[in-house]
Amino acid sequence: MCFTRCFTEVKKRIGAILRAIPLLLVMSACGSSGGIGSGQGSASTPVSSGRIENSGLVPEAHSPCAGVSLEARRDYRPRSWTDGDVTFVGGSLTFAIPSEISVTAGASARGRAILSFRSGSGDSTTCVYRGNGYRGFGGTQYVFRKCRLGAHPQDDDEDADWDGPSDPLPVAGRIVTADTFHLHVQSGDKHFPATEIHLALPGPVLSDDNACTTDSCDLVTGAVTHTPIALDDGNECTIDSCDVAAGPSHTPVDSMFCRGKANFHDRTLAGLGGNGRSCADCHSPSESFQLTPAAALARFNEMTSSGEDDPLFRPIDANDFRINGAAAHDYTNLTVNGLIRITIPLPPNVKLLDCGSAVPCPPTARPTSETVADVWRSVPSILNVNITGPDGLAPVWPRGPNPTGGYQLDGRIDTLQHQALSALRNHASITVDPPVSFLDDVAGFESTQFSSPSVQLLSDAMAAGTVPLPDPDPVLDELEMAGKSVFNRACGQCHGNLGGHPSGSTPILQGTQGTPTAIVRYHSIASTCPRPVDTVSPPRFLFAACSPSQMANVRTYEITNSGVPPSGTACGGAAPQPPCITRVTTSDPGRMLLTGYPQPGGPGDIEHFDIPSLRGISRTAPYFINNTAATLEEMLDHYKAFFQRVAIQNPAAPLLTTQPGVVPPVQDRPFTDAEVPALLAYLRKI
């Protein structure tokens, strides 16, 4: 019996050695590396217990968001394998342990497939799948048998029984999490050259079936998030909401403000005719509700390059409109100067001369038959209009329209509704006037636009009759406080200092009204073209010259002073009577086009304009009625020359002094060069 047992043991060992010889030959032919990755390996490659090893090969990195796709292959002639591996860097996948693995080539027979996975540096879980075919042939799947801790023994001995007892571990369908995956075919139907299998583990479910969230998956971690979508559409005239099934909605708000905002931006103007323009085309919201030359040029270039129409460019605002009509195409004033055409009927006593833009206009020039004047002006911002316009307060201009201030640069319009109607007629070319409610809504919208919250608080306080009114200035530093003192002294006499009307567009009350000591309502600041030139050498004042494109807007006007209102008083006699015929060469006669009034024994209306508020001035460059000052520095340079010229012409001018009527005159208002930095700091802050 001992002999029989010994002989049987020796036979088993010799058999094992004989079976190992061809395996060693395969290892020699295929290389000693094996296991994980796309390379081939030997069935006897060692794997350390409790880990998924790759014998030095780095598994391909994937994103958990895409799930896992593994393919493995067992070749039988010669005997080798190719395993499938996926490793996530920084993330993991939560999945259900599959109940079967599909065969994509060959057959499974009663062979085995192994799925191993682990999370982090923890122990591997290895699950065994048995082919659903017959012993030795057939089979389209490998069906789950069991799982155990530790890596699978990668050998080719399909007779080795690894299906022994295991610890209680997950079963098919159990939800687990892993970041490293390994798929291996241990055996299958050898009647085929190879057995190939494929396993797809889906990525995380992105959709939460909620139309109010944005579903996303982090490509590194695989974490799924459901971020609430941004409901705010940036339109204060909609109520933003979201339905889980239908998604977001933006319900229009029916209010004066919102209707007015819609009207302000409406290019269609249904039923009114029009040329496609809206208020917002000229009063651009992105440009503080004005129009800059740079913005106009950018829009023109975009229109010409894209071929898409921009209603800002209509023949009525082309330089050559009076010559070419609907075929006009020269938009120099728009694109270079940021100016639009304003057409005003000539008063009966005013004529245009036939010398065009010549400077000087020859004495032989004769009146033309033109009945309107075209002047080119900047587009004023609508900011703070609720506290400007007619105020009903002194100082009062001796002639209308609107002797206590108005809208538009020359103060010719009395209400925001009339201003909107005039713009729709003259710039949008409507053929049917809108209903009064349309204009009321536009005015309501414009009345809510302010340069700062503090100015809005001031407006509210003015409407409520609050005393004292709040100071709309923001918190000022030391330099800005010094600039405010300079402003109140040198600028506030017209633009309203602490003792004036809070709008900033009403001059202060100084001197005796109706006498030369009083500061008046409307002013000429020599901002039109051509600019005054001092005949003394060296010059005592020096204005910046107007550009050629600005000078092209110059015309010469002939005013007949008939001696009766509204065109004047007695003329032609000894001083102070004015001449009966006055010729003025200018790019813009200002309020003279409204009154025909020249200079009847005192300041007339020639080149006189309303006073703008300076709140928000840092955002409304360029400056003056014709955009001739590109910066605040250029604006102050102009005022420096202006004060110098006034001091020469009228040393006792009330604009120059805080002590009107004092003899000799005290000129204590003009700012000095040393005060310019502080004044600029204050202007930029307000």
Q: Could you read off the pLDDT of 214-249 as tens digits, one per residue?
A: 999 999 999 999 999 999 998 899 999 999 999 999
Q: pLDDT tier at 34 (50, 70, 90 boundaries)?
A: very low
Is the pLDDT score of 269 beyond 70? yes
Sign, Cα dihedral of 482, 487, 490, 492: negative
Whole-number percent of the chain with pLDDT over 70: 85
Kindly report which listed range (31-40, 349-358, 574-583, 630-639) carries the lowest average pLDDT score: 31-40
Residue indicated by tokens 């540096």: 121
- Residue 571: the pLDDT is 72
SS3 for 78?
coil
pLDDT, mean of residues 575-599: 86
Is the pTM of the predicted complex or chain greater than 0.75? no
pLDDT at 683: 97
pLDDT at 47: 31
570 pLDDT exceeds 70?
Answer: no
670 has a pLDDT exceeding 70: yes
Q: What is the DSSP code string of 288-349?
A: TTB--HHHHHHHHHHHHHH----TT--GGGSTTHHHHGGG----HIIIII--EEEEEEPPTT
Predicted pLDDT of residue 574: 77
Mean pLDDT, residues 432-461 taken together: 97
- List pLDDT tens digits, range 476-520: 999 999 999 999 999 999 998 666 678 889 999 888 888 888 999
311 pLDDT above the threshold of 60: yes
User: What is the C-alpha separation between 303 and 281, in angstroms, rounded?
Assistant: 14
Q: What percent of the chain has pLDDT over 90?
A: 76
The model's pLDDT over 409-439, given as tens digits with 9 standing for 90+, comes to: 999 999 999 999 999 999 999 999 999 999 9
**What are 320-329's contacts with CB under 8 Å, separation 24+?**
322/374
Residue 61 is predicted with a pLDDT of: 52
Q: At 276, which amino acid appears?
A: G
Confidence (pLDDT) at 563:
57
pLDDT tens, residue by residue, 133-145: 998 789 999 999 9
Specify the pairing of strand 79-82 against strand 68-76. antiparallel
Rg (CA), the chain: 45
Q: Does 322 have pLDDT greater than 80?
A: yes
